[in-house]
Amino acid sequence: MENDIVLPVLNANGGKSEMKETDQLEKIIVIGVGGAGNNAVDYLYKQPGYMDNVGKSVSHYIFNTDENCLNNLQCENKLVLGKNLLKGKGAGANINVGRNATVEAIQEITEIVSGTDLVFITAGMGGGTGTLGSSIVAEAAKNAGAIVVSLVTLPFKYENRMREAYYGIKNLYRHSDSLIMIDNQKIVDFYPDYEYTRGLDEANKILSNAISGVIKIIRNPTTINTDFEDLKTILNNGGKSQILYRSLEGEGLDSITEDPEGTIDYIYKEVTTSPLITSSNIEQATAFLILLECSSHFTQRIMDQFVSRFSRVKDQEVESFDELLEDLDSLDDDKIESIQNNGPQVIFAYNKLPDNEDNTPRLNITIVATGMGSHSNKENAQPIAQTASSYQTPTPVASSKPSTKSSVESNDGLAIKPNNGAKVLGETQVAPAAEKTPAAPAANTASNDLLASLSSLDEATMQQFLAAIKAAQQGSAPATEEYRSPALPESSNLFVTPTTEEKAEPQNKLSFSDDDLDIDE
């Protein structure tokens, strides 16, 4: 489990190499739970250069009930969930089966997460294993004292698995410091003509960029440095948040010298434009962690103008140092206290990228932004313990696939309402996407509702959303193309960071009892 390495990291500024001893590094692990989670971790693992650089100092794990799936992937650390219950077979799209299988492996999971500082957990919501398995892993990691960043996909509409996804997200959110969601349906909408697995890989790319971007912020020595404590500061800011990653090169940046303003507009739009982001406005963020890696074309002035967009310096009355420092004798604490930091906090890291032979400007940007929105539904949110009593009369578990093992179901006190449709995940079943004109995102799509109200997924809200989803499925909701936008940037993901009081208290024992999992009919 220990990564027994010394990490050589190339600092592109002057080509200087810096060494960090393993025992000085925070322990970071990335865990993929279930098929989608496994694929995302494997995608990250195979990214060119990743394992030669920051990935070297991180442990990667894939957990799954399906042993075959594990065996087909490269990632070296594999854990079979529910060996006794399922004998290496999948959870059959039954989230209770997946939950029980994960609970069976809890000792191994606890051992893996023990002593970790930062745990990334990735899973596909809607399937049998990852939906609840991920929240059990997250809880174990939280109990081990780690910062937990969870990254999940929401199911395609045609799968009819939103109910299961809600259960998964609700539980995962409780045990995560940040939750990033990627709507698979939007991947379909933005890449209608992509071959199916290539489309899935676009989501995997977003997940993997988010993870590697954050690891880079912590691990890579930069000219202006950031580290794990900076990440903690930003995540502790609370509120909804986002992680954005963008890599730009060439055309759009060509006019950086002649038209810096215009180019900065372009970069800002590229970084922040996303259908998900429009439902949680980055302009409202109150804290940013920004890593810019750029070629020499990006001067002091350009950096100043670009970062000022995020810290909103233009909108503020920024006091000059000169006046305050004129008379140092009178600079008492009261005077200092009266100084207002009006805009968002910005923790900034910079690294110079070596210039290309053809001198093309290039730029990599990773941004963690927090504090968006007011969590207006927070006061309505019911603690899970309070809602648990409504699960006293469970009905038999319904699954769209036959259960792999009936004894697993009958052991289980949980019940989930059946979906109207079957889980269909397969290349042959994807409807060919029609040519559509991109349009502005609609405010009331099912997934935007989910994103907007995540902080208060109480029963009433859930019922309301289920009704909205049902309406959407019956055709009364806006058509798919209404939340299309011209391009799906790599930054199309959303973080949700619970405020301190919303986070589950650290517990001595895991709370994956039936009641705590909060699943009813």
Ligand X SMILES: Nc1nc2c(ncn2[C@@H]2O[C@H](COP(=O)(O)OP(=O)(O)OP(=O)(O)O)[C@@H](O)[C@H]2O)c(=O)[nH]1
* Binding region for ligand X (CB under 6 A): 34-36, 39, 64-66, 90-93, 98, 124, 126-130, 153, 155-156, 159, 161, 184, 200, 203-204, 425
Asked if 26 and 57 touch (Cβ cutoff 8 Å), the reply is: no
Is 37 part of any known ligand binding site?
A: yes
| Residue 473: CB atoms within 10 Å | 16
Tell me which residue of 167, 159, 150 sits closest to 450, measured CA to CA: 167
Residue 312 backbone class (left: φ over 0; alpha: ψ -120 to 50; beta: rest): left
> In angstroms, what is the minimal distance from the CB of 297 to ligand X?
35
**Minimum CB distance to ligand X smaller for 204 or for 493:** 204
Tell me which residue of 79, 125, 139, 75 sits closest to 104, measured CA to CA: 79
**Minimum CB distance to ligand X smaller for 124 or for 489:** 124
Tell me which residue of 191, 124, 171 sits closest to 425, measured CA to CA: 124
> In angstroms, what is the minimal distance from the CB of 93 to ligand X?
4
> In angstroms, what is the minimal distance from the CB of 436 to ligand X?
21
Contacts with 480 (C-beta within 8 Å, 6 or more apart), sequence order: 157, 185, 189, 436
> In angstroms, what is the minimal distance from the CB of 434 to ligand X?
21
Is 161 part of any known ligand binding site?
A: yes
Asked if 64 and 71 touch (Cβ cutoff 8 Å), the reply is: no
> In angstroms, what is the minimal distance from the CB of 468 to ligand X?
19
| Residue 358: CB atoms within 10 Å | 6
**Minimum CB distance to ligand X smaller for 199 or for 371:** 199
**SS3 state of residue 185:** helix
**Minimum CB distance to ligand X smaller for 27 or for 175:** 175
**Minimum CB distance to ligand X smaller for 124 or for 344:** 124
> In angstroms, what is the minimal distance from the CB of 124 to ligand X?
2
Please state, in angstroms and rounded to a whole number, the distance separating the CA atoms of residues 449 and 368.
22
> In angstroms, what is the minimal distance from the CB of 34 to ligand X?
3
Triad 166, 32, 369: Cα angle to 5°: 70
Tell me which residue of 455, 313, 317, 311 sits closest to 369, measured CA to CA: 311
- CA 505, distance to chain mean position in Å, is 21
Helices and strands counted in the chain (H then E): 19, 13
> In angstroms, what is the minimal distance from the CB of 200 to ligand X?
4
DSSP string covering 263-316: HHHHHHHHHH--TTGGGS-GGG-SEEEEEEEE-TT--HHHHHHHHHHHHTGGGS
Is 36 part of any known ligand binding site?
A: yes
Tell me which residue of 315, 316, 286, 291 sits closest to 303, measured CA to CA: 291
**Minimum CB distance to ligand X smaller for 64 or for 485:** 64
> In angstroms, what is the minimal distance from the CB of 268 to ligand X?
27
Please state, in angstroms and rounded to a whole number, the distance separating the CA atoms of residues 509 and 177.
19
> In angstroms, what is the minimal distance from the CB of 469 to ligand X?
15
**Minimum CB distance to ligand X smaller for 155 or for 371:** 155
**Minimum CB distance to ligand X smaller for 370 or for 400:** 400
Is 129 part of any known ligand binding site?
A: yes
**Minimum CB distance to ligand X smaller for 35 or for 489:** 35
Asked if 61 and 31 touch (Cβ cutoff 8 Å), the reply is: yes
Please state, in angstroms and rounded to a whole number, the distance separating the CA atoms of residues 488 and 491.
8
Is 38 part of any known ligand binding site?
A: yes
- CA 307, distance to chain mean position in Å, is 23
Give me the residues paired with residue 150 across strands.
121, 179
Helix, strand, coil % in the chain, rounded to nearest 5: 40, 15, 40
**Minimum CB distance to ligand X smaller for 168 or for 371:** 168
DSSP string covering 210-244: HHHHHHHHHHS--SB---HHHHHHHHTT-SEEEEE
Strands (E), 97-233: 118-124, 147-154, 178-183
**Minimum CB distance to ligand X smaller for 22 or for 47:** 47
Query: Which residues fall in the annotated binding site for GTP?
Result: 35-39, 128-130, 159, 161, 204
Query: Which residues fall in the annotated binding site?
Result: 35-39, 128-130, 159, 161, 204
